[in-house]
Amino acid sequence: MMKFLELHLRELGVTEAEWNNSANHIHCMPHVYNLAVVNTLKALTMAEAFRDEIAAAEAELTAE
């Protein structure tokens, strides 16, 4: 996984001096991924709830 990240960063123009798989190994990388996924899902859930509130408000306005 870390090697893939290193290769992807190279494609994005990140140099070996900025990121090196061996030197910058993150032991808790799965935990970092989990935090990112949980926060993304939370944001999507909040966005869905916000859309529902807007739809209800629009329905209320058109009913009047």
The predicted pLDDT at position 2 comes to: 75
* CA distances to 51, 53, 54, 55 from 64, in Å: 20, 17, 16, 15
Residue 25: which of 58, 42, 10, 3 has the closest Cα?
Answer: 3
Radius of gyration (C-alpha) of the chain in whole angstroms: 21
DSSP string, 41-55: HHHHHHHHHHHHHHH
Q: What is the pLDDT of residues 14-63, one digit of tens each?
A: 888 787 777 766 667 788 889 999 999 998 888 888 888 898 898 888 88
pTM over 0.95: no
